[in-house]
Amino acid sequence: MKFEVNGKPVEVEVEGPESLLRVLRDDLGLYGSKDACEQGECGACTVLMDGAPVCSCLVMAADADGARVVTVEGITPEVGLHPVQEALLETGGAQCGYCTPGIVVSAAHLLEHNPDPTEEDVREALAGNVCRCTGYGSIIRAVMGAT
């Protein structure tokens, strides 16, 4: 299959029912998307596919043929950090870090489409991202402060 990952064309051979998450991690070495629940419940594997946030563990790799995929590595600038990443560091919104990549992808997507979100907007955008360490307050403050 051929698709675009973080702005670069890639081609990988997919056999059977592999998930997009498996291809990103195992074939392309993009380890930012985390493998946590493999059921689409936690959001740790969130990527953008054709501009929409998706749980890459639930997307069959073959369904990404021809798609544009952006991972947390593609959101992070070559030098420094994305404003969401900076804000998460400043507010203590990144603790163990396992959920952080998915939160960064979801939050960056929100801010790209709504640069001045309300708290309700942030909560809605992050509803699919589970964090067991922070209690969400610092994450929500970080996203609102990243605007």
Q: What is the mean pLDDT of residues 7-14?
A: 96
Q: What is the mean pLDDT of residues 66-90?
A: 95
Helix, strand or coil, per DSSP, at residue 146: coil
Q: Which residues partner with 46 through β-bridges?
A: 55
For residue 128, which amino acid is it? G
- Full set of structural domains in the chain with CATH: 2-75 (3.10.20.30), 83-145 (1.10.150.120)
Question: What is the pTM assigned to this prediction?
Answer: 0.94
Answer for the pair 57, 116: CB distance below 8 angstroms, yes or no: no
